Amino acid sequence: MDTEYTLDFQVSTIPEPTSAAGLGVIAMLISLRSRSRTKLQLKHTTRI
């Protein structure tokens, strides 16, 4: 023997890609929030 060694093989889980469905839900929520703000602004303008 002239060499001693220890190797550590480190294994991880392959990350799951962000699903298209999840992205769709996020986009829809942003869109709804944006429309709600627009309505509030219109209502405020009407009162003035």
Residue 6 interacts with another protein (CB under 8 A): yes or no: yes
Measured CA distances, 13 to 18, 25, 27, 34, 48 (Å): 15, 26, 28, 37, 58
Comparison of 6 and 45: residue with beta carbon closer to another protein: 6
Site for another protein in 10-29 (CB under 8 A): 10-14
**How does DSSP classify residue 36?**
H
- For residue 29, the minimal CB distance to another protein (Å) is 30
Give CA–CA dist 15/45, Å, rounded. Answer: 48
- Stretches 8-16, 25-33, 34-42: which one binds another protein (CB under 8 A)? 8-16
